[in-house]
Structure 1
Amino acid sequence: MTDDTRSFNASDRPEFLPAEGPHPGWGSPGGPTPQYRQPGTPYQASSQYQDPYRDTYADQYGQEQYTQDPYGQPQGPPPPVNAYGMGPTWAPPPGPQRQEAPEGNRRTGVLALLAVVIALIAGAAGSYGTYLLSGSGSGVDPDYAIPSAPAGTTARPPESVAGVAAKVLPSVVSLEVRGGSESGTGSGFLIRGGYIVTNNHVVAVASTGGEIRIKFSNRRSTTARIVGRDPNSDIAVVKPEETFGSPEVALGNSDSMVVGDPVIAIGSPLGLTGTVTTGIISSLNRPVEAGGESGRDSALINAIQTDAAINPGNSGGPLVNGAGEVIGVNSAIATLGGGSSLGGQTGSIGLGFAIPVNQVRRIAEELISTGSARTSRIGISIDQQYQGQGVRIAAQAERGIEPVTPDGPADKAGLRPGDVILEVDGQPVSDSRELIVTIRSKAPGDKVVFKYQRAGADRTTTVTIGAAPAPSAQPS
């Protein structure tokens, strides 16, 4: 619109005339004064108000004409200046107007969006390039490295298992034995004089022209010959041609061991040389059958029981204490089938048995000195049918053998047929096996206190251990 004054014909648009009477809010104190126009009077347009929903144009007669608003309603003249409280015939106030962004701003936004897209594409391309360089998904990373562990030491305290093993292993050997159609393996250990102690059942197959080969911890080997063997104790001594400077092992005192003491078994189970296992002493004075040759009685030993793993091939190897001293010779294992031999193929079930070293020491000395060993005896026959407490001496002779050997150790101590032996050196005996292994664990000449019962009365006596006639020497 312009500020020029134009006339219009009000009769053409009568609906745009104000209603009769004062308009609500008009004439109020401080309010606008109503202005009325008669049809045909000129209308003064003002630039102070411009309705965006109206448009005007001049017709051919110079009169101002009005179009309809965007909602299809006829439009009247603009409201009075500073009008308040418009009536129902007035158009609503203008709403918010959408404004177009300047051309420069639109171009800046497009460029920013394009930069973001380019950055995303570049990042994806870089990641894919790294993926291709690293092996196309194979997991190979040319720069991958695991840090090295700090420098350590192999030194161990002498009293540790590793320390004891390091001390004893150089003295332990493995034996490969062949004789006739039989062969086998076992273990042994080097003692003073370059002799090797092992089990009789390990070398027995080579006693009649077989061959024994000794392998030392330094991997050097040589042949050996049998010096002597004792089937009754399952102990044998062999002499290698060379020891290659290997040290001898220290022998301890098996009588000083108690149940619960830690022990270490060393040997060659199943041919695996230098094997070390650990455990404790599970029991002492356990009567066990060990070894045994074809056609002969098995050896009865007063064994040390251990839970250290012992398997076929450990036979003859040392059982050592925490100081690295030999306190037994591994000789037998219990099996689920009821046997107690290392000759079978069953493995360890935690019930291993060793010959006490105090007995081994005596047997080895006799074998080296004479080629044979004496078996300790007291000169009695045992009643195998007796089921009561203790062990009863037979009451009558059997197959021409007297129950008490005349002038033997038992006879000299005052024992008589029918007496019941209850204890030996304070150790109860419950069956003949326990009595036999207890006597065999003593050396000939040892004095032993017997507690026995005769006619219901308990008595004691001291028996000096004797020996059976020594067999002929059996060196190979």
Structure 2
Amino acid sequence: MSDERDPADPWQPPDQQPDQQPDSTGPVDVEHTRELSGSPVPPAPPTSSWWADEPTGWPATAPGPAEATGWPVPSAADAPPASGVADPAYAGSPQAAGQAGSGAYAGQAGYGAQDAAWAASQPAPTTADRRTGPGWGALVAVAAVASLVAAILGGLFGGWLGATNRVDFSSLDRGQTTIPRAGAGATARPSGSIASIAAAALPSVVTIKVKGADGAGTGSGFVIDHAGHILTNNHVVAGAAAGGSITVELSDGSQVDATVTGHDGSYDLAVIKIARTDLPPLTMGISKDVVVGDPVIAVGAPLGLESTVTSGIVSALNRPVSPGGDGNTQSFINAIQTDAAINPGNSGGPLLDMQGHVIGVNSAIARVPGTTDTQSGNIGVGFSIPSDQAVKTAEQLIKTGKAQHPVIGVVLDRQYSGAGVRILQQKTASSGDPVDPNGPAGKAGIKAGDVIVEFDGRRVNAPDDLVVAIRAKNVGDHVSMKVRRGSQTISVTLVLSGTSGS
């Protein structure tokens, strides 16, 4: 007995064909990730209306040399008309002919004589009058000072504002505006940074283009040794395994042909080879030392965009993930979950730790429950095959072209919905005996109908949970198992045997 799956269970094909959709095969609905084929000029500010009501009779001329009194010295052209007729151009000007008295409206001929006659007709002020307020002399003096100030301000603003009534800022010193700019930089990044790790890893990561009977697709892979071997997912190259072509595009854009060395659908891993021995391999890390929260970097060709780098963290460990399709291509992954962006086309690319070591091979992404799309994008839940499993399987594929699968020798009842995982209760035409008497479970005393509740200290509640837990072990490992038989719970120890798959 070579597998712990029900041979009659109908799985959908992998995502190599756009018109087919994988079923939900575990706690999450997952799918493989193979890719199917100069500054505007601001408007001028509005003209200010602040000076709109300014009298227009004031002469718009710059002040001339000052007399002892402070008044501008009139030129010959400024002389008042001899006729004595009022001239509006001189309204308010202290230079008007015949000025006398306050001078507030001096500027029309004859006003000075009238002021003198009026003053002469007034009675002389008494002492009491002088006590009640300022005399005429004081008032005249105040008026003269006011006129002087008005004349000075008028000449000042008259010259500054000019005929247009606008302030002329052209003569102001605006100074120099200096916008701060960074100095000359460098593209070198410190060791251990994402940029530094990506720069070192990118020459070893490739884009894989496949043409086969089921169509064309794109995936990712990475160099694992100096012999030209490249590790990727089985679902990336499976279409060309039985006839087709594989082209590998290197990070420098050059392309070379590749052949399949070995592939395994259960672990969803494959090794291909190119005729290049000068490419730097990535270092494989130890996935059992990874903990939740570790920062990670995903590299690959999502949507055909080669040499793409994303980052995130390890979100969870030991996720039982089973993407894929019908029996032979169904995958069972004891996955590393990450929120690093993984999209179709990332399949087969490396998941790196912050030392630049490979801790996983990106393989699948979660799909929103209830959606019917064959391919979806990243929603922050991606899955990678742990590097410990990838190394073991890659070595087997390079050596023999096949991978070994540890088994316990039972057929599982996938219709059972209670707690734990039940072994088939009776023999069927397609499955044979529910328990292989010569297999690990049969030798340990396991019987048909027993319910497995724990495997190697890990509770299991679905068939895929158990298969994933078994496949994470090695052939020859001693493992403990608890089974429920009726009202009893029995603990047993068994030695895993193996079978080869493809």
TM-score (norm 1): 0.69
Please state whether the residue corresponding to 1:395 is helix, strand or coil. Answer: coil
Say whether 1:431 aligns with 2:462.
Answer: yes
Aligned to 1:302: 334
Deviation of 1:392 (Å): 2.1
- The amino acid across from 2:491 in the alignment is T
Deviation of 1:237 (Å): 0.7
Whole-angstrom distance in 2 between the partners of 1:93 and 1:381? 125
Once the two structures are superposed, residues 380-416 of structure 1 have per-residue CA deviations (whole angstroms, 9 ceiling, x without a partner) of 1123343332222222111161111121121122222
1:377–1:466 CA contact under 8 A, matched in 2: yes
Once the two structures are superposed, residues 274-293 of structure 1 have per-residue CA deviations (whole angstroms, 9 ceiling, x without a partner) of 21222222222222122447
Aligned to 2:402: 372
Once the two structures are superposed, residues 331-368 of structure 1 have per-residue CA deviations (whole angstroms, 9 ceiling, x without a partner) of 1111114579xx94321111111111111112111111
Whole-angstrom distance in 1 between the partners of 2:276 and 2:217? 21
1:312–1:344 CA contact under 8 A, matched in 2: no
Aligned to 2:65: none
Q: 2:451 aligns with which of 406, 420, 440?
A: 420
Once the two structures are superposed, residues 53-105 of structure 1 have per-residue CA deviations (whole angstroms, 9 ceiling, x without a partner) of xxxxxxxxxxxxxxxx9699999xx99xxx9899xxxxx9995258799xxxx
Say whether 1:323 aligns with 2:355.
Answer: yes
* Structure 1 pair 249–85 and aligned structure 2 pair: CA distance change class (3 A): closer
Whole-angstrom distance in 1 between the partners of 2:181 and 2:127? 90
Q: 1:232 aligns with which of 241, 252, 266?
A: 266
For residues 165-184 of structure 1, what are the structure 2 equivalents within 5 Å? 165-180=198-213, 182-184=215-217
* Structure 1 pair 111–315 and aligned structure 2 pair: CA distance change class (3 A): closer
* Structure 1 pair 374–130 and aligned structure 2 pair: CA distance change class (3 A): farther
Q: Structure 2: which 5+ residue stretches go unaligned?
A: 1-116
Once the two structures are superposed, residues 313-337 of structure 1 have per-residue CA deviations (whole angstroms, 9 ceiling, x without a partner) of 1111111222221111111111114
Aligned to 1:35: none
Q: 2:367 aligns with which of 331, 335, 340?
A: 335
For residues 69-468 of structure 1, what are the structure 2 equivalents within 5 Å? 96=136, 117-121=158-162, 146-180=179-213, 182-192=215-225, 193-242=227-276, 245-292=278-325, 296-338=328-370, 344-399=374-429, 401-468=432-499
Please state whether the residue corresponding to 2:403 is helix, strand or coil. Answer: coil
Whole-angstrom distance in 2 between the partners of 1:386 and 1:93? 117
Please state whether the residue corresponding to 1:242 is helix, strand or coil. Answer: coil
Deviation of 1:272 (Å): 1.4
Whole-angstrom distance in 2 between the partners of 1:156 and 1:363? 35
2:332–2:468 CA contact under 8 A, matched in 1: yes
* Structure 1 pair 416–115 and aligned structure 2 pair: CA distance change class (3 A): closer
Whole-angstrom distance in 1 between the partners of 2:160 and 2:127? 57
Whole-angstrom distance in 2 between the partners of 1:145 and 1:151? 17
Deviation of 1:116 (Å): 5.8
Whole-angstrom distance in 2 between the partners of 1:418 and 1:252? 41
Whole-angstrom distance in 2 between the partners of 1:408 and 1:74? 143
Deviation of 1:112 (Å): 9.2
Whole-angstrom distance in 2 between the partners of 1:111 and 1:252? 88
Deviation of 1:242 (Å): 2.2
Whole-angstrom distance in 1 between the partners of 2:471 and 2:133? 128
Once the two structures are superposed, residues 219-273 of structure 1 have per-residue CA deviations (whole angstroms, 9 ceiling, x without a partner) of 3321211111111111111111225x33101111112222222222111111112
Whole-angstrom distance in 1 between the partners of 2:121 and 2:163? 58
Whole-angstrom distance in 1 between the partners of 2:211 and 2:474? 33
Deviation of 1:129 (Å): 7.1
Please state whether the residue corresponding to 1:407 is helix, strand or coil. Answer: coil
> More displaced, 196-205 or 121-130?
121-130
Please state whether the residue corresponding to 2:332 is helix, strand or coil. Answer: strand
Deviation of 1:114 (Å): 5.3
- The amino acid across from 1:117 in the alignment is G
Whole-angstrom distance in 2 between the partners of 1:240 and 1:219? 15
- The amino acid across from 2:424 in the alignment is A
- The amino acid across from 1:198 in the alignment is T
Whole-angstrom distance in 2 between the partners of 1:111 and 1:237? 96
Aligned to 1:11: none
1:172–1:188 CA contact under 8 A, matched in 2: yes
1:362–1:443 CA contact under 8 A, matched in 2: no
Q: Structure 1: which 5+ residue stretches go unaligned?
A: 1-68, 87-91, 132-142, 472-476
Whole-angstrom distance in 2 between the partners of 1:311 and 1:422? 35
TM-score (norm 2): 0.65
Equivalent pairs counted in the alignment come to 376
Please state whether the residue corresponding to 1:255 is helix, strand or coil. Answer: helix
Please state whether the residue corresponding to 1:458 is helix, strand or coil. Answer: strand
Please state whether the residue corresponding to 1:443 is helix, strand or coil. Answer: coil
Deviation of 1:460 (Å): 2.1
* Structure 1 pair 152–107 and aligned structure 2 pair: CA distance change class (3 A): closer
